[in-house]
Amino acid sequence: MEMDNMEQTGGAIFEQGKQSIKVPVPVYIRASASVVGTKEGKGPLGSLFDMIGVDDKFGCDTWEEAESTLQKEALTLAIGKAGLKNSDIRFLYAGDLLSQSMASSFGLGSFGIPLLGVYGACSTSALTLASATIAIAGGVAQYAACVTSSHFASAEKEFRYPLAYGNQRPASSSWTVTGSGAFIISSRKGECDRAMLTGVTIGKIVDFGVKDSMNMGACMAPAACDTILTHLEDFGRVPSDYDRIITGDLGMVGQQALICMLREKGCDIENVHMDCGIEIYDKSQGTASGGSGCGCAAVTLSAYILKQLEEKKWKRILFVPTGALLSKTSFNEGQTIPGIAHAIELVSP
């Protein structure tokens, strides 16, 4: 990696003119947890999740409260696995897909941890990890926590139609994952760290003019393409330097678009590409293009990806969840659906 034009400010290192951060001090994922709904529990990763709900309301009266409960359970589990108490966590980074990040507002108040709310649509898991890494590498926290979630029923109601309407789903549509992932990030090496956070690439808004809210893969693929290319260029790497380059929820339609777009730019990721949305459900589960939602990337990271790193099956991966910057209002007003993708480089501990 070329390190000319580097600048030292405070304690960390950045390079001017580059979009990425090479994390200058060790930052660890100390522990993590995943809580999912019934459909995810029956999928190919089912046995790896920490908790599977008996039903998707998680004992609550509304879908939104159920989603808040997912976050609460995931964070409680993650803090417990890290052997910490709430007051050890200096900052909590959290967000979700609902209007005004409602699942986080009502799921996380009882923890009493200073909260920095973030919004990156389905890229939120990477945005929380990137923000926590910046804080920890910069020396303002010893422990930070990251939480995000999505819920099939609350998301359909928020972005498309209430479930009771029974709308038809085209082949390009994806199925919002009911799930929450929580991560404890630390500046100190622990005995059982799951991975190290070594690089961050913050994405830009990329708008290819797609307007179809039933084809999120097409909306987000251009952003994933931009962030992956920028990351590789900033770090002077090629796709084969990674055991996997993992998008969050492009699904089968978006995966094809991403691979084609990158190939046009002379970058072939086909052999190392994985998409959480494709992994989380079996084809027999009838999810059309695959899984989606903030929770999709978050629970797959916690349950499956970190396991491979922890067990040294993979040495280095690039985690690139993508977000579709869509709202009901913007959709109804005929706006496009821009995308954004943030990338996190993770290595085995």
Residues 291-330 within binding reach of its own copies (CB under 8 A): 325-330
**Size of residue set near its own copies by CB under 8 A:** 72
d(CA 103, CA 105): 6
Based on the shown chain and the rule CB under 8 A, indicate whether residue 5 belongs to the binding site for its own copies: no
* Contact region with its own copies (CB under 8 A), list: 75-83, 265-273, 288-296, 331-339: 331-339
Using only C-alpha atoms, the chain has a radius of gyration, in whole angstroms, of: 19
Cβ-based nearer residue to its own copies, 92 or 278 = 92
**CA–CA distance, 46 with 38 (Å, rounded to integer):** 9
**Residue 157 or 194 with smaller CB distance to its own copies:** 157
Q: Which stretch binds its own copies (CB under 8 A): 197-205, 212-220, 301-309, 314-322?
A: 197-205
Residues numbered 88 to 127 that lie near its own copies (CB under 8 A) are: 90-91, 95, 97-102, 105-106, 108-109, 112-121, 127
Given a contact cutoff of 8 angstroms between Cβ atoms, the answer to whether 158 and 91 are in contact is no
Residues paired with 272 in a beta bridge: none
Q: Is 70 in the site for its own copies (CB under 8 A)?
A: no
Taken in order 263, 233, 291, 339, the sign of the CA dihedral is negative
Residues in region 50-69 near its own copies by CB under 8 A? 62, 64-65
CB-count exposure of residue 256 (10 Å: 0-12, 13-18, 19+): middle
Tell me how far, at minimum, the Cβ of 76 lies from its own copies, in Å.
Answer: 16
Q: How far is residue 98's CA from residue 313's CA, in Å, rounded to a whole number?
A: 36
Q: Scanning residues 201 to 220, which ones bind its own copies (CB under 8 A)?
A: 201-207
Q: How far is CA 218 from CA 60, 324, 333, in A?
A: 34, 10, 20
From CA 319, how far away is CA 305, in angstroms rounded?
9
Contact between 76 and its own copies by CB under 8 A: the answer reads: no
Stretch that binds its own copies, among 3-11, 51-59, 281-289, 313-321 (CB under 8 A): 3-11
> Is residue 236 close enough to count as binding its own copies by CB under 8 A?
no
Least gap, CB of 271 to its own copies (angstroms): 28
- Decide if 121 contacts 97 (C-beta within 8 A): yes
Residues numbered 149 to 178 that lie near its own copies (CB under 8 A) are 158
Pick 123 or 247: Cβ nearer its own copies: 123
Q: Between 104 and 289, name the residue whose CB sits nearer to its own copies.
A: 104
Q: Which stretch binds its own copies (CB under 8 A): 16-24, 174-182, 247-255, 263-271?
A: 16-24
Strand, coil or helix: what is 58?
coil
Each residue 124-143 as x (binds its own copies by CB under 8 A) or -, in order, gives: ---x--xx--xxxxxxxxx-
> In the complex, what is the shortest distance from the CB of residue 344 to its own copies, in angstroms, rounded to a whole number?
13
Determine the Cα–Cα distance for residues 103 and 298; give it in Å rounded to an integer.
15
Q: What's the closest the beta carbon of residue 303 comes to its own copies, in angstroms?
A: 26
How open is the CA angle 277-280-283, to the nearest 5 degrees?
Answer: 90
Distance between CA atoms of 15 and 21, rounded to whole angstroms?
8
CA distances from 262 to 111, 249, 259 (A): 42, 17, 5
